[in-house]
């Protein structure tokens, strides 16, 4: 894949520093150098020590990424929300993991996306997961279609420029819920379980902001924004204030409300396009199981 830039500074700069400013890492430079890529200045091949001058035209040719043979194919169709040459956004259903694991090598979103890439005969076949969701959480999931896009989006994640918003159904101690609140409780591993986390004084700092959308005497629908990204953070935090998610048996959620998985949905995803810079925002309505419960609140 080819990327072009115009050098617009008035003073000279070494090419390697200019490329770093464009988000091209040392790892990507090595891939370009040793795996068949090119670095051109004004259509002439140059090394990274070249001194750029005003109006120089820089072209980067990134080599195609061959598939990882260990990632199996799953022919289950994917629900595409958005796609261009750099990005793929899908609507992840419940009961599907994001990526393969040792004892579950197939049936994940990564396996399904790989099959989709194969069908489309895309040149880049490596699966780059940018935003994961828990197995039973539904909603928007972002993939980068090549390594350069993944690196650019990772920079945004670290700078907290990627916003994910969730909606959840919770029940329990309704008096603990405010119209708007911030749950600020540290989270640590629960040593009694391989999966479970818990609120603990010696845990990592974690903040979850929420807004109450609707409620009755038994349950509520809340809008959620994460300020940190701890494992199971939303589930642990709402359980920690006595209002676990419906269907979340791992954290004490009600299992009698008509939903049998944690009632959590990533409904909004907002980020800057890694190459155009345009701010993109995508939204999804609640899935059917959550809608049926929410309409009775």
Residue-wise pLDDT tens digits, 131-159: 999 999 999 999 999 999 999 999 999 99
Q: How far apart are the first and last CA of the chain?
A: 50
What's the pLDDT score for residue 205? Answer: 98
> Same domain, yes or no, for 257 and 175?
yes
> Same domain, yes or no, for 23 and 105?
no
What's the pLDDT score for residue 104? Answer: 87
> Same domain, yes or no, for 56 and 68?
no
pLDDT over threshold 90, residue 183: yes
Mean pLDDT in residue range 6-25 = 94
Residue-wise pLDDT tens digits, 231-254: 999 999 999 999 999 999 999 999
CA distances from 198 to 191, 195, 239 (A): 9, 10, 9
What's the pLDDT score for residue 132? Answer: 96
- Looking at the chain, the whole-number percentage of residues with pLDDT higher than 70 is 100
pTM: 0.93
Contact 83, 149 (CB under 8 A): no
In which domain, by residue range, is 74 found? 64-159
In a domain, 124, yes or no: yes
> Same domain, yes or no, for 197 and 154?
no
Average pLDDT, rounded, for the chain? 96
Alpha helices in the chain (DSSP H): 15-21, 26-34, 109-120, 147-158, 233-240, 288-294
By annotation, the residues acting in catalysis are 134
Instruction: Provide the pLDDT confidence category of residue 95 given band limits of 50, 70 and 90.
Output: very high
What's the pLDDT score for residue 69? Answer: 85
> Same domain, yes or no, for 189 and 259?
yes
Contact 237, 183 (CB under 8 A): yes
pLDDT over threshold 90, residue 68: no
């Amino acid at each position: 894949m080819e990327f072009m830039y115009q050098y617009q500074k008035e003073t000279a700069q070494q090419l390697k520093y200019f490329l770093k400013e464009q988000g091209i890492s040392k790892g990507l430079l090595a891939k370009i150098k040793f795996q068949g890529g090119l670095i051109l200045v004004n259509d002439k091949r140059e090394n990274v020590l070249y001194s750029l001058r005003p109006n120089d035209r820089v072209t980067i040719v990134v080599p195609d990424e061959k598939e990882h043979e260990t990632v199996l194919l799953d022919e289950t169709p994917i629900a595409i929300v958005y796609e261009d040459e750099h990005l793929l956004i899908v609507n992840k259903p419940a009961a599907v993991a994001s990526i393969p694991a040792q004892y579950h090598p197939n049936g994940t979103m990564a396996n399904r996306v790989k099959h989709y890439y194969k069908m489309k005969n895309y040149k880049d076949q490596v699966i780059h997961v940018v935003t994961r969701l828990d197995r039973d959480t539904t909603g928007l999931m972002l993939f980068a279609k090549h390594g350069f896009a993944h690196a650019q989006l990772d920079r945004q994640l670290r700078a907290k420029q990627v916003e994910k918003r969730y909606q959840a159904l919770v029940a329990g101690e309704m008096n603990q819920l405010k119209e708007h609140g911030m749950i600020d409780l540290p989270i640590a591993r629960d040593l009694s379980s391989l999966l479970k986390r818990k609120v603990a004084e010696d845990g990592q700092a974690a903040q979850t902001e929420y807004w109450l959308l609707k409620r009755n005497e038994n349950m509520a629908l809340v809008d959620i924004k994460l300020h940190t990204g701890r494992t199971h953070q939303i589930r642990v935090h709402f359980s920690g204030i006595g209002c676990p998610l419906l269907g979340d048996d791992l954290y004490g959620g009600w299992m009698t409300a008509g939903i049998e998985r944690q009632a959590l949905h990533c409904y909004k995803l907002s980020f800057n396009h890694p190459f155009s810079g345009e701010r993109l925002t995508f939204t999804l309505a609640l899935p059917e199981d959550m809608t049926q419960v929410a309409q009775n609140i």
